[in-house]
Structure 1
Amino acid sequence: MAAPPRLLEPAPDWTADEKPMLPGSPAAIDHPAYKRLLYFFIGLFVAVSGSLSNGFITANLPLIQGEYGLTPSEAAWIPAAYAMANVSANLILFKARQQYGLRLFSEIGLVLFIAVLMLHIYVHTFEMAVFVRIASGLAAAPLSSLGMYYIMQAFKRANFGRGLYLALGFQQLGIPLAWVMSPYLTGVNDWMLLYTFELGLALCCLAMVVSLKLPRSLRIAVFEFQDLFTFALLASGFALLCIVLTQGPILWWLNAGWLAYALIGALLLIAAGLTYEHYRANPLIITRWLGASSTVRFIIGAFAIRFLMSEQSYAAVNFLKTMGMGPDQFVTFYAVIMAGIIGGTIFSALTFSREKTILHLLGAVLLILIACALDQHLTSAVRPENFYLSQFLAGFASGMFIGPLLLTGILSALQKGPSHMVTFIVLFSASQTFGGLVGSSFFSSYQQMRTQHYQAEIINDLPLASPQVQQRLLSDGQSSRAYTPDPALEQNQALRALHQRVTEEAQVRAYSDVIFLNKLFALLLLFWGLFIIAASQYRSYKQRLRPDSS
C-alpha cells in the first residue's frame, strides 16, 4: 500500500465541519451573510468571464476568418486549439491545486489569462492566433474551478451540492452571452474593442479574487516525475483527436489521407498513456476503475448527453445561418437560450437531492426529446422566433443536467477514495469535450451526406423539360435581363438561381433529418436510463426478499 501524501505545511486548527473534503479544496468556513453574497457574486463573475473568452471566438469565427483571410479548414484550427488545450489541462490541474495551493494557483492562472488576452490585442497573424487560443484554453481550466469554489463558499456545507449545481450551470452562460453581446462590440469590426473588453473582464476577476481570497486548503506533495510522461502521451493523443474531429467534416474524411494517420496516432498515444498508467505504482489515472461497470455506465451516459446537446449548437444555429440569418438576428435567440440555462440551473439547485440526480438527468434527456420533436419539420420560412420554445427547453436541459452529472461521478469516485478524483476529473472533462466535438462532427457529416442525397433526388424529380421548370427559368432569366443583354449569360444566371433553390431545399430537408436522428438518439438514451433504474430497483427488491443471513 502506498504511503499517504506528505503535508507541505501545517494544517490550520480547523473544526471537523470546516476541514476541506479533499486537499486542494478550500476550507468550509462559516462566513457572515454579507461575505457569502460577495463570494457568490465573485464566483458568478469569474465563472462567466472564464467561458466568455471562448464564446467570443465561437460567435465571431466567420468574422475572424475574414479578418485573417483564412479558409474554413484554417479557421477551424482556432476553436480546436482551445479545446485540445482545455481538455489536456485537466490532467494536471487537480494535482497542481493540491501541491501548490488553490489560492496561489488560481491567482497565477488569472495572471496568465490576462497575459493571454493582452496577446490578443497584438495578434496579427493566423499562427499567433492559434497560439493564443492554446494558452487561453490552458488558462481557462483553473478559472472554471475558481468560479465553482467561490460560489460554493456562499453556501453552508450541507448545501454545497446546490452551490455546485449553480456554479456548473452558470459556467455554460459564456457562449450564449457572447452571442448576445458580440453585435454591439463588433458592429464596426473594431476588434481592439472586443479584445480590450475581454481584458477588462479578466482584470476585474483578478482584482476581486485578490481582494477577497478563498479560505486556505491543505497542501500535499503529490506530483511525480512520471506524471509528466503520462501528460505528454495523453495530451498529445487528445490534441490529435480534437484535430481529426474538427477537420474531418470540412476536408471530408476520405479526401484527406493525413486525417487517418492523425487518428491512428491519437489512438496509439492514448493507449500507450493508459497502458503506462496501468503498471505504475502510484498512477495518475487509475485504469482498473475505468473498467468497472458503474464507471462504464457513467462514461456512456456523460458522453451521450453532451452528444445530444451538441445538436442545439449545430443544427438550429447552422440552419438559420443557411437561411441567411446574421449575428443581429441571433441576439434574442441566444437570450432565450440563456434564460433556459438559468432556469434549468436554478431548478436543479432548488430540487437538489442525491436521490434525484438520476431523475434530473432523465428529465434533461426528455426535454431534449421534446425540443427535437418541436423542431423536426423545418421549412425555408422558419426564422429564429420559431425556435424560441424548443431552444428554451434545450437550454433548460443544459442547465439541469451538468450539476447532477458531476455530483454522480464525484460520489462514485469518493467511495473508492480521494486517489480516484484525478481519474474522475479527466473522465468528466474528456466526456464533455469529446461528446460535444463528436456530436458536432457527426451531425455535420450526416447533414452533408443527406444534402447531397436530396439534391440528386430533387433534380431527378425536376426534369428541365417540364413546363414548371421552364416557367421558373424564364422568370429568373427575365429578372436578370436588366444586368446582362447576353441571352447565354441570362440562361446561365437562371440555371444558377434554380440550383441555389434546389440546394436550399436539400439543406432544409437534411437539417430536418439531423434533428430527427437526434430525437431517436434521445429516445434510446431515455429508454436506457429507465432500464438502468428498473434493473437497480429490481436488484434492491430481490435483496430485501433475501432472508437475514445472521
Structure 2
Amino acid sequence: MTETPQTPAEAPAAQVPPAPPPFEFLGWPLTLGFIGASILISLTQGLAQGFVSVNISQIAGEVGATTTEASWLMAAFLIPRASLPLLLIKIRTQYGLRRFAEVAIITYLLVSIAALMISDLRSAVMVQFFAGMASAPLSTLAFLYMLEPLPPQWKMRLGLPMVLTFAMLGTPLARVISPALMSDTGWVSLHLLSLGMAAVALALVYLLPLKPTPHVKVIAPLDIVSFLLIAVGFGGLTVAFVMGATYWWTEAPWLGWTLVVSILSLMIAVVIELHRKAPLLDIRWIMSPAIVHLTVTLLIFRLILSEQSAGAPRMFQVLGVTQDQLVPLFSVIVVSSILGGLACIPFIKAENVPRFHVVALVLIAAGAWMDSHSTIDTRPHQMMLSQAMIAAAGSLFLAPAMLRGLMSALARGPNYILSFVIVFLSTQSLGGAIGSGVFSTLINHREAFHLEVLREQIPATSPMVTSAIAARVAAVSSQIADPMQARAQAVTMIGTDITNQAYVLAYNDLYLLTFLIACLALFALLLHMWRDWIVQRLEAWRSRPPPEAAPETPASAEPETPASAEPETATAKPAAS
C-alpha cells in the first residue's frame, strides 16, 4: 500500500499465453477425464435402451406378460426420446449447463433406483417411460463433455466421430454383456449395472463441471404448445411403427387412429411455427432443398442400417440360436464400429463427406448381398464379415453427415443449430423405430408368402415328405414309445423346419431389398458428385481471365539486354509468349 502505483508507461506489458497444442487444451489428465466421462455417459444411455430391446422375451417372463405385451416397454422408452431433445436445448440455454447436467444425471439415477422396485407390467411400462425421459438429456451431456476439453480444430475432427461412435454401441454392446448378467439374477442385474453406471456418471459430473454459459430466457409460452403437439405427433408415430408389426396393421383399428392423431398434431404444430416471429423450429429452413436432401439421406441410411438390429439377430432367434452364441458376432460388430469411427478422424472434412458416404454405401451393399444367401444352416460365425462391414459403414456415415449439417446450420447462424439438431435426432429416433417396424412388417408378409408356396410345393403325400417323416419317427422312437405320438412329433418337427425355411427366405428377401436400396442410393450419390464436378469445372472455366495479346515486334529488332543482366544458361526454358 505504501508503494506508488506504476504509470501506464512504466507498467510491464501483458504477456499473451501461447496457444495450447492439441490434446493439451486443459492438460492431459483433465482432457482424458472429460473424454472418459463422455464415453461413460454415452454407454449409460445406450445400454438403457439396448437392455430392453435385446431381452424382451426374458423380461416378459419376469413381469408375467406375453412377448406382445412386453413390446410396450420398448415403445414407452422411445416415446419421450423422439421429442424431448426439442425442448432440452432451450432448457439448457435458459437455466445453464451446470444445473442442466446435475438435474439430468440425478433424475436418471432416481429412475434407475425405481427400476429395482418393478413388480408387474404396468409398473415396468411406467418406469421405462421415465427412463426414456431421463436418458434423453444424457445424449446432449455426452456431446458436451466430449467437445469441452478439445481445442476448436479438434472438436469436429476428433470429438464428433468419437461421441457418435460410442452413442451407437448401446444395442450391440448390450447383446455382448446381457447373457452373462441375465444368467445370474435376471433383469435385476441389468438394473444394478445401469444404477452403478449412473452413480459413477453423477460423480464425474460433479468432479468435472462444464464451463458456465450465460443464462438467456428463451422459452416462450407458445414453445410449450408447439412442443406438446410435436411430442404427441412423434410419440404416436413411434407407437404405431413399434407395435404395428406385432398387432398387425389391418387387425388393430387403434393403429390407424394413432397415425391420424399424430399427423394432425404435427400439421397443427407446423402451422403455428410458420406464423411465429421467433419459432421453436424454423420450418422454412428445414424444408429448404439442402436440408430436405440431408434429412432424406439420414432417413435412408437409418432405414437400411436397421438390417443389423432387426435382421440378423431375429433370424438367428428363429433358427434357435441362443443369446450366448451371438456374443462373438456382436463383439465383432462393436469392434468394427469403433474402428469405423477411428477411420473418420484423419480424413473428416466437409469436402470428403460424399466420399465417406460412397464407402459406407459400398460396405452396406456388399454386406447385405452376402447376407441374402443365408440358409437354415447359417450360423453367427458365417455372418461376422458381412455384419462387421455394415457396422463400420454406420460409423463412416454418421459423423460426416452430422458435420455437413452442423456447418450448414452455422453458416445461417447459431439459432439454426437447434433446428438441425432436431432434424438429426428425429431422423435417428424415428428412423430407427420406423425402420424396425417396416422391416418386421415385411418379414411377416414375406414369411406368410413363402410358407404358402412351400406347402404347395411339398404336399404331405409326396415321397420326400413320407421318407422325412419316417426318418424323424426313427429318431424319436427311443424317447417316445407310442408310434402315433412319435409320428405326430415327427410331423411337428417337419412343420417347424418348413416354417424356419420360410422365415429364412423372407429375411433373404429383405437383405436383397437392402442391397438394392443401397445400390440405388449409391448410384444417385455418384450422379450428384458427377454433376457437382461438372459445375465446378464450368465455373472455373468461366472465371478464367482471357489471355492477353503479346505486343508485336519487328523481326529485325533484337531485344535490348541490360548490362547487368546475366547470360541465359543452356538449360533455361524460353519465356512464354
TM-score when normalising by structure 2: 0.88
Counterpart position of 2:255: 259
1:438-517 alignment runs, 5 A limit: 438-482=434-478, 487-517=483-513
Are 2:418 and 1:422 aligned? Answer: yes
- Are 2:144 and 1:149 aligned? yes
* Secondary structure of the structure 1 residue equivalent to 2:470: helix
| Structure 1 segment 273-312 matched on structure 2, within 5 A | 273-312=269-308
Amino acid at match of 1:254: T
Equivalent residue letter for 2:182:
T
Specify which of 92, 106, 119 is matched with residue 97 of structure 1.
92
Of 32, 50, 59, 1:55 maps to: 50
Instruction: Confirm whether residue 222 of structure 1 aligns to residue 218 of structure 2.
Output: yes
Query: Contact conserved, 1:410 with 1:424, CA < 8 A, in 2?
Result: yes
CA deviations 1:2-37 (Å, max 9, x no partner) are xxxxxxxxxxxxx9x99xxxxxxxxx9931222212
Q: Give the drift of 1:255.
A: 1.0
Q: Corresponding residue for 1:174?
A: 170
Please, which runs of 5 or more residues in structure 1 have no aligned partner? 1-14, 19-27
Between 1:300-309 and 1:151-160, the stretch displaced more is: 151-160
- Secondary structure (helix, strand or coil) at the match of 2:370 reads helix
Q: Which residue of 1 aligns with 2:63?
A: 68
Mapped partners of 2:285, 2:201: distance in 1: 37
What does residue 39 of structure 2 align with? Answer: 44
Shift of 1:481: 4.2
The answer for the alignment partner of 1:542 in structure 2 is 538
1:107 lines up with 2:102 in the alignment:
yes
2:250 alignment partner, SS class: coil
Q: Match of 1:305, SS?
A: helix
Whichever residue aligns with residue 286 of structure 1, its letter is D
For residues 36 and 89 of structure 1, the distance between their equivalents in structure 2, rounded to whole angstroms, comes to 29
**Conserved? CA contact 1:80–1:242, under 8 Å:** yes
For the residues of structure 2 that align with 1:60 and 1:132, how far apart are their CA atoms?
A: 16
Distance 2:357 2:521 in 1: 10
Shift of 1:146: 1.2
Name the stretch that deviates more: 237-246 or 95-104: 95-104
Worse-matched range after superposition: 487-496 or 503-512: 487-496
Aligned residue number for residue 21 of structure 1: none
1:347: Cα distance to partner? Answer: 0.6
Does residue 137 of the first structure (1) align with residue 132 of the second (2)?
yes
User: How many residues are aligned here?
Assistant: 527
Is 1:519 aligned to residue 515 of structure 2? yes
The answer to whether the 8 Å contact 1:341/1:395 transfers is yes
Deviation of 1:348 (Å): 0.7
Partner Cα separation in structure 2 for residue 149 and residue 350 of structure 1 = 22
* C-alpha contact (below 8 Å) 1:451/1:510 kept by paired residues: yes
Look up the equivalent residue of 1:74 and give its one-letter code: E
* 2:146 corresponds to 1:127: no
Q: Give the secondary-structure state (helix, strand or coil) at the position aligned to 1:222.
A: coil
- 1:227 shift after superposition: 0.5
Say what the alpha-carbon RMSD is for the aligned residues. Answer: 2.1
Whether the aligned pair in 2 keeps the contact of 1:169 and 1:400 (CA below 8 Å) is: no
CA offset digits 1:392-437 (Å, max 9, x no partner): 1111112222111111111111122222222111111111112212
Question: What secondary structure sits across from 1:217 in the alignment?
Answer: coil
1:204 has 2:200 as partner: yes
1:422-460, Cα deviation, whole Å (9 max, x unpaired): 211111111111221221111211111111111111111
Q: 1:371 aligns with which of 367, 387, 391?
A: 367
1:213 aligns with 2:199: no
C-alpha distance in structure 2 between counterparts of 1:549 and 1:222, whole Å: 50
Choose between structure 1 and 2: higher helix proportion. 1
CA-CA distance at 1:486 after TM superposition: 5.2
SS at 1:135 equivalent: helix
Q: Distance in 1 between matches of 2:181 and 2:225?
A: 43
**What secondary structure is seen at the aligned counterpart in 2 of 1:93?**
helix
Query: 1:83 matched to which residue of 2?
Result: 78
Contact 1:365 1:397 in 2 (8 A): yes
What is the 5 A alignment of 1:224-263? 224-263=220-259
1:26-37 equivalences under 5 Å are: 30-37=25-32
Asked if 2 retains the 8 angstrom alpha-carbon contact of 1:29 and 1:215, the reply is no
Greater mean deviation of Cα atoms: 136-145 or 476-485 = 476-485
Q: Could you tell me whether the CA contact under 8 Å between 2:116 and 2:188 is conserved in 1?
A: yes
The answer to whether 1:390 aligns with 2:386 is yes
| 347-356 vs 228-237, which moves further | 347-356
Question: CA offset at residue 549 of structure 1?
Answer: 11
Larger radius of gyration: 2
Q: What's the TM-score once normalised by structure 1's chain length? A: 0.92
Letter in 1 for 2:209: K
- Cα distance in 1 for residues equivalent to 2:255 and 2:296: 25
8 Å CA contact 1:169, 1:345 repeated in 2:
yes
Listed as ranges, the gaps of 5+ residues in structure 2 are 1-15, 547-577
User: Does structure 2 conserve the Cα–Cα contact (< 8 Å) formed by 1:365 and 1:526?
Assistant: yes
Shift of 1:488: 4.5
| Corresponding residue of 2:321 | 325
State the shift of 1:281 in Å. Answer: 1.4
Classify 1:99/1:66 alpha carbon distance in 2 versus 1 (closer, same or farther; 3 Å): same
For residue 484 of structure 1, report the CA deviation from its aligned partner: 5.2
- Point out the more displaced range, 232-241 or 72-81: 72-81
Shift of 1:544: 2.7
Q: CA deviation at 1:72?
A: 2.9
2:142 maps to amino acid: G
SS of the aligned residue for 1:187 comes to helix
Cα displacement (A) at 1:56: 1.4
Show the 5 A alignment for 1:335-374. 335-374=331-370
The change in CA–CA distance for 1:178 and 1:226 in structure 2 (over 3 A counts) is same
Whole-Å separation in 2 of the counterparts to 1:549 and 1:414: 33
Q: How far apart are residue 535 of structure 1 and its match?
A: 2.1
Of stretches 472-481 and 441-450 in structure 1, the one that deviates more from structure 2 is: 472-481
Would the aligned equivalents of 2:45 and 2:138 in 1 still touch at CA under 8 Å? yes
1:353: Cα distance to partner? 1.6
Cα shift at 1:301: 0.2
* One-letter amino acid of the structure 1 residue matched with residue 79 of structure 2: M
**1:460-517 CA distance string (max 9 Å, x none):** 1112222221111223334444555655544433322221111111111111111011
Q: 2:553 maps to what in 1?
A: none
CA distance in structure 1 between the partners assigned to 2:529 and 2:348 by the alignment = 19
Identity %: 29
